[in-house]
Every structure is written in structure tokens, then in C-alpha cells.
A and B are shown apart, each in its own frame.
Chain A
Amino acid sequence: GAGVSQSPSNKVTEKGKDVELRCDPISGHTALYWYRQSLGQGLEFLIYFQGNSAPDKSGLPSDRFSAERTGGSVSTLTIQRTQQEDSAVYLCASSARLGYEQYFGPGTRLTVT
């Protein structure tokens, strides 16, 4: 693909439900990142994956958040028992290597009602 893609583009869910957000990085990029952008706030780092190394989960806000990356490519961010404060735009990015420029997807807008 030409760029990073994310699905769905919009997700409305009820409080307490689980959601899965998907990211397809640029082919060949070894590093994949998840960020969260709340209204009026800056991008907040959540987690990143680099190759086959253990992911850096230090930015995940609670144990309701988890992510996996299968086959070194597609990644899924899962939020369990969603809360209203989880409402935000979730952005995925990939880069050829750590420390290089990052290419962002269009984001998934999550609304928890």
C-alpha cells in the first residue's frame, strides 16, 4: 500500500464494551507506533513495536489497553471495558527504523457513549 491505513475510520461504542482498532503499516517498515489524540490535546504515546523485540508498553494508560502485532506487520489495539475518557482519535504510525521519521495513518475516531 501507499501509506499507513487504519480501520475503522469511526467507531461509536457503548461504555463497557470492548473495541479493536486495526493498523496496516507501510510495507517493510519495522517500527509501528500507536498514539492517542484527545480534543485540544497533543499526541500521547501509547505503545510501539520494533521488529521482533518486546513492545514498549510504557505509555498505555491502564491495563484495559493492549496491543499486538502479528507477523511483524498488522497491529491491533484493543480497549476493554471502554470508558468515556477513552474517546479520542487513535493514530497509528510506522517508520523504517526507530529514530526515523514516522508516517501516520488517518486515525480512528472513537466515541464512547
Chain B
Amino acid sequence: SQKIEQNSEALNIQEGKTATLTCNYTNYSPAYLQWYRQDPGRGPVFLLLIRENEKEKRKERLKVTFDTTLKQSLFHITASQPADSATYLCALDRGRGSTLGRLYFGRGTQLTVWP
């Protein structure tokens, strides 16, 4: 079965720095990889989706990379702000046949940005 590991349970950085979160997976490579943000007591909120044939995708201060050789995705938040503090989830979609749309989630990394 697919195993997804996110680098650490918690990451603390100073405001203005770049936060880098890691998502590693085993077994098959996903067709799609997604990143979500989850605040306490709320459902996850979609941030970015990257496809297996894409190396990098950006959205404002966010950047995602996808390395199918390393079986790894990196999620970067540049110029981090205290409002970026949340849990960030990596999710994989195998994207093939009957499993298309079924997301496998990592446990998340809790990011704290301090002033």
C-alpha cells in the first residue's frame, strides 16, 4: 500500500523566512499530488495541485516541486507570515482507473511562524 511521510510533525520558523515542507512517498508514483492547509477545527483547504509531468508550480508565495525519481514533493512558503501558521497536508492521487480521485493523505506538518 502507499505510504506517505511528511518530514516532521512540527516546523517553527521566523517571520519572513522561507518554510520548506517535505512529502515523501513509497511504491507507485501518483499522477497528481496536492497540498492542503488545515486550521484547527476546520476542514482542509486546497492550495496547489501538481501533475506527474510537471516539475514545479507556483501560486503567489507558494511553490511546489515534484520529483518522481526521488519520490518527493517539496512545498515552499516564501516570506512567511504568522497567518501561515497551520497544518499542511500532502495528498496523492494515483490517478489511474478505479482509484482516480481517491486521495491518500500524509499526517501533516504543523507550521508555526513566529514574529
Contact = CB atoms under 8 A, between A and B. Distances in A.
B115 interface: no
- Among B31, B42, B89, chain A packs the most CB atoms within 10 A around the CB of B42
Interface in B94-108: 95, 98-108
Interface stretch (A38-46, A61-69, A70-78): A38-46
Contacts of B89: 42-43
B32 interface: yes
B44 interface: yes
A99 B91 CA distance: 12
Contact of B106 (A35, A42, A48): A42
Contacts of A25: none
Given A41-B107, A42-B89, A98 B34 contact: no
A95 interface: yes
Nearest to B96: A99
A105 B42 CA distance: 8
A77 to B, nearest CB: 15
Nearest to A106: B43
A107 B101 CA distance: 19
A56 B102 contact: yes
B33 to A, nearest CB: 12
A21 interface: no
Interface in A58-104: 59, 91, 93, 95, 98-104
Contacts of A102: 34, 44, 46, 103
B31 A99 contact: yes
Contacts of B42: 106-107
10 smallest beta-carbon distances between A and B, as pairs? A104-B43, A98-B101, A43-B105, A101-B46, A42-B107, A42-B105, A98-B100, A104-B44, A91-B43, A99-B100
14 contacts: A4-B43, A33-B103, A35-B105, A40-B107, A43-B89, A43-B105, A45-B103, A91-B44, A93-B43, A98-B101, A99-B31, A99-B100, A102-B46, A103-B46
